[in-house]
Amino acid sequence: MTATAALAACLVFILGRLLRKRQRKLPRWAMPAAIGCTMIVYSVWNEYTWFARMQSALPQNVVVLGTGQRSAPWAPWTYAAPVTVRFVAMDTHAISRSEQKPALVRGRLLLVERWQPTRTVAVAFDCAANLRADLMGSATLAADGVLTGARWQAVAPGEPAFQAACKSM
């Protein structure tokens, strides 16, 4: 943002020099107004394009499953057009199937949020029974299907993470 402000200042300076050669002057408020407006426009552009830029930088094997938006009082325009500030994705190359029970799948969800470090959550799916378990802490899923340290939860077959993990069944 500092570079954007510096560019605006340079452009206003050049414009002022050109006008001075023609015996005209810019008002004194032109420089700070141009810098302030440039910084606001850049900040709004940066917020609204964050998700698209992040998504285009993801490898092809990472599938975006859902997004979250935000509106804020300090940015009243976000009530008309909320800003995407987080998304959940799955790394399809990290999906592994149990050799003993092929309906059991393990994967990794990526929780990406603006201004926060990316977190990962290991998950297990029973594609035949429409079940999901979050493998947090010491939770494990053995190759024979025994789940320890977590509980199976029913999921709708249309749930995006379930579909991404079980689509090759």
Query: With helix as H, strand as E and coil as C, how does the chain read?
Result: CHHHHHHHHHHHHHHHHHHHHCCCCCCCCHHHHHHHHHHHHHHHHHHHHHHHHHHHHCCCCEEEEEEEEECECCEHHHHCCCEEEEEEEEEHHHCEECCCCCCEEEEEEEEEECCCCCEEEEEEEECCCCEEEECCCCCEECCCCCEECCCCEECCCCCHHHHHHHCCC
Q: What's the predicted TM-score (pTM) here?
A: 0.81
How do the pLDDT tens digits run along the chain, 169 residues long? 688 888 888 998 898 888 888 888 989 999 999 999 999 999 999 999 999 999 999 999 999 999 999 999 998 999 999 999 999 999 999 899 888 888 899 999 999 999 999 999 999 999 999 999 999 988 888 878 788 899 999 998 789 999 999 986 5
